[in-house]
């Protein structure tokens, strides 16, 4: 789904605006805003949690061990590189000591992510872990219950999966689950039929 030129311009303006954001306390400890990276006309978008130390230093998302795993699984299961997708996070600034983002920080940062999704207009959004999956699906159900399905998210299909950091900790089963979720996302990208679930129907 190509992004029209006016969307590309709007995306650049959005990025410039976000890079100066001080809407929550996370602005105080960051080195820089990690807005996102990849193709703003991508059909596939990944949404993680927030920048870590290396991401904060480089200004890019998923550049550490988690990012390497994401790159590998994307290549092995989807035949794609990160340059052909777009990668962003729920919060754009690093939480101190890599703590979880707080609800008010997530709420403050949410408009940036929603506008990114709106302008990129991907066919598939893959949410990585609890924070992005719960936020975009509007549920407090955990990722282990949410994953394994595909959901309607506006005009987009949302496929939740584990955060790569959890897969690094979790071993074989977690890895197999993430691989299966990426195959599900690829099926949607290729126009295949998947059942779409209503997040409100998934029991806690």
Residues 155-191, buried b or exposed e (16+ Cβ, 10 A)?
ebbbbbbbbbbbbeeeeeebbebbbebbebbbbbbee
Would you mind telling me the total number of residues written for the chain in this entry?
204
Cα–Cα dist 65/74, whole Å: 14
Cα 28–Cα 164–Cα 114 angle in degrees, nearest 5: 55
Q: Is 182 in the site for ligand SF4 (CB under 6 A)?
A: no
Cα–Cα dist 80/87, whole Å: 13
Nearer to ligand SF4, 24 or 88 (CB): 24
Nearer to ligand SF4, 36 or 160 (CB): 36
CB of 93 to ligand SF4, least distance (A): 3
Q: Is 41 in the site for ligand SF4 (CB under 6 A)?
A: no
Among 11, 14, 18, 163, binds ligand SF4 (CB under 6 A): 18
Q: Is 22 in the site for ligand SF4 (CB under 6 A)?
A: yes
Among 14, 21, 158, 199, binds ligand SF4 (CB under 6 A): 21
How large is the C-alpha radius of gyration of the chain?
16
Q: Is 33 in the site for ligand SF4 (CB under 6 A)?
A: yes
Q: Is 113 in the site for ligand SF4 (CB under 6 A)?
A: no
Cα–Cα dist 33/23, whole Å: 12
Q: Is 27 in the site for ligand SF4 (CB under 6 A)?
A: yes
Q: Segment contacting ligand SF4 (CB under 6 A): 6-14, 56-64, 107-115, 165-173?
A: 107-115
**Is residue 87 within a helix (H) or strand (E), and if so which, with residue range?**
strand 86-89
Among 11, 14, 26, 136, binds ligand SF4 (CB under 6 A): 26
CB of 84 to ligand SF4, least distance (A): 25
Nearer to ligand SF4, 62 or 112 (CB): 112
Alpha carbon of 70 to those of 40, 61, 66, 163, 170: distances in Å? 19, 11, 6, 9, 15
Q: How many residues bind ligand SF4 (CB under 6 A)?
A: 15
**Is residue 56 within a helix (H) or strand (E), and if so which, with residue range?**
helix 53-58
Q: Is 167 in the site for ligand SF4 (CB under 6 A)?
A: no
Residues that bind ligand SF4 (CB under 6 A): 18, 21-24, 26-27, 33, 91-93, 105, 108-109, 112
């Amino acid at each position: 789904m190509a992004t029209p030129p006016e969307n590309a311009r709007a995306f650049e303006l959005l990025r410039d605006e976000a890079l100066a954001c001080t809407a929550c306390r996370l602005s105080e400890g960051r080195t820089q805003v990690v807005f996102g990276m990849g193709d703003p006309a991508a059909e596939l978008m990944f949404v993680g949690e927030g920048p870590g130390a290396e991401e904060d230093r480089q200004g890019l998302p998923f550049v550490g061990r988690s990012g390497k795993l994401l790159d590998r699984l994307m290549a092995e299961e989807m035949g794609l590189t990160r340059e052909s997708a777009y990668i962003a996070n729920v919060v754009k600034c690093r939480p101190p000591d890599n703590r979880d983002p707080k609800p008010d920080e997530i709420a403050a940062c949410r408009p940036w992510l929603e506008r990114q999704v709106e302008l990129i207009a991907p066919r598939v959004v893959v949410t990585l872990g609890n924070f992005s999956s719960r936020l975009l699906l509007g549920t407090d159900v955990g990722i282990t219950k949410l994953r394994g399905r595909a959901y309607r998210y506006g005009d987009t299909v949302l496929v939740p999966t584990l955060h790569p950091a959890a897969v690094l900790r979790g071993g074989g089963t977690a890895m197999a689950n993430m691989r299966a979720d990426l195959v599900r996302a690829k099926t949607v990208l290729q126009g295949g039929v998947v059942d779409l679930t209503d997040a409100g129907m998934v029991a806690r």
